[in-house]
């Protein structure tokens, strides 16, 4: 057992004695395929400290899929869940093939109690979005999100095939099919921030297929393995500067061009709402990962912390999902303020930032009871958004009072 927080220092019996209860899982990320057809150099699955993918099945066997469907249905019944989200993930999930995916989707829908609505989606690199694949996804009502890092130069800097060839052209072919006759499935784009890419050019390239939402992701990193060009001494705010440029372009556009999840979640919390993102605010995280071998894991971005960081020691064969609800790592992401460091609890933007992404708080020898390695960037970005919104609200106030 680790001596780092939360395994050491988080008193779960005291929490429950004080009345705290975990929130049941409502989002399940299934690693239906454990390999990929790209070799992105920043990938947290294949390029991070955790290399457990090497010893796991390449694809999720039928028995794991069946057991997972039964466990999700069991969890939904026990907690009377009205809806759950199931995300087909990887690796590259579409490598599982349309037949296996179709059978898996059918198995999940059939297992669920009639009172629980099931939202199925997949997160893909887009290379395998053929007409045949999209027709199958459309038939089964599976939403599609695609990873795209901007224009050709920006995307192909990191998102390459194993032979070094760029993937942008293949991704755009798939995206154009999705955004065309299968647009109802289009859930949005995921873009990893790269400081070497021009922010405005990147944003405008992402708009080309009219995505309903864009999710900008900060590159994964920790205090022990910092993100690219993120000074650990606290100096500089390169990621905030990049994102502020995009925010201003997005926010001040004459009409709404798309949603940007990070910005919308920050504005939502600033205005008193609840965050729907694990990277913003203090809302409990109710997500569980099932790997190809049936092991239950916390958020898989923890692979960037150290080998074995996402593991719970539980499996779909031997454990109910309720068993995972009391795992220290799961509890830590559900207790809000109680999971923040002393630095964060006294911070003026505490409730909006929420300490940042949990994986980004890790420091070797101490665990996750730290501010985000992106702390200066988050403070500057949130401050800029808050001032911008407050100015607009102040301008609107006189008009409303007349």
- Cβ-based burial of 245 (10 A; exposed 0-12, middle 13-18, buried ≥19): middle
What pLDDT does 397 receive?
79
Domain 23-389, what architecture?
Alpha-Beta Barrel (3.20)
Provide the residue ranges of all domains of the chain, joining segments of one domain with +.
23-389
| CA–CA distance, 92 with 103 (Å, rounded to integer) | 17
Let me know how long the chain is: 402
What pLDDT does 400 receive?
53
What pLDDT does 399 receive?
54
Q: Which residues pair with 123 in a beta bridge?
A: 145
Sole residue written with tokens 């074995």: 308
Phi, psi of 91 (to 5 degrees): 35, -150
Could you say which residues of the chain have pLDDT below 70? 1-2, 398-402
182: CB partners within 8 A, 6+ apart: 134, 135, 137, 138, 144
pLDDT tens digits, one per residue of 117-144: 999 999 999 999 999 999 999 999 999 9
């Amino acid at each position: 057992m680790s001596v780092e927080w939360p395994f050491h220092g988080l008193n779960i019996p005291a929490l429950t004695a004080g009345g705290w209860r975990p929130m049941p899982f409502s989002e399940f990320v299934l690693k239906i395929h454990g390999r990929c057809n790209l070799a992105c150099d920043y990938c947290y699955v294949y390029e991070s400290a955790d290399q457990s993918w090497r010893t796991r099945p390449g694809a999720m066997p039928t028995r794991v899929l069946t057991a997972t469907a039964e466990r999700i249905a069991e969890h939904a019944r026990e907690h009377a869940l009205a809806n759950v989200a199931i995300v087909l993930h990887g690796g590259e999930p579409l490598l599982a093939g349309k037949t296996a995916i179709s059978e898996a989707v059918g198995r999940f829908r059939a297992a669920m109690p009639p009172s629980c609505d099931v939202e199925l989606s997949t997160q893909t690199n887009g290379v395998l979005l053929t007409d045949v694949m999209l027709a199958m996804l459309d038939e089964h009502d599976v939403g599609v999100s695609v990873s795209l890092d901007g224009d050709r130069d920006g995307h192909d800097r990191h998102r390459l095939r194993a032979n070094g060839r760029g993937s942008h052209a293949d991704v755009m072919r798939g995206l154009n099919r999705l955004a065309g006759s299968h647009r109802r499935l289009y859930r949005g784009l995921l873009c990893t921030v790269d400081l070497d890419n021009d922010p405005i050019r990147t944003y405008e390239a992402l708009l080309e297929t009219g995505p309903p939402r864009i999710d900008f992701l900060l590159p994964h990193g920790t205090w022990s393995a910092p993100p690219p060009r993120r000074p650990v001494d606290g100096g500089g705010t390169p990621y905030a500067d990049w994102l502020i440029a995009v925010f201003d372009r997005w926010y001040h556009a004459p009409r709404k061009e798309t949603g940007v999840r990070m910005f919308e979640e920050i504005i939502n919390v600033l205005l008193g709402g609840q965050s729907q993102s694990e990277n913003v605010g203090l809302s409990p995280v109710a997500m569980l990962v099932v790997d190809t071998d049936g092991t239950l894991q916390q958020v898989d971005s923890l692979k960037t912390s150290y080998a074995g960081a996402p593991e719970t020691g539980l499996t779909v064969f031997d454990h109910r999902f309720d068993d995972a609800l009391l795992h220290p790592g799961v509890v830590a992401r559900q207790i809000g303020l109680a999971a923040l460091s002393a630095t964060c609890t006294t911070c003026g933007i505490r409730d909006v930032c929420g300490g940042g992404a949990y994986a980004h708080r890790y420091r070797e020898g101490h665990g996750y009871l730290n501010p985000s390695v992106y702390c200066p960037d988050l403070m500057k970005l949130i401050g800029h958004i808050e001032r911008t919104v407050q100015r607009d609200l102040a301008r609107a106030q006189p008009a409303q009072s007349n």
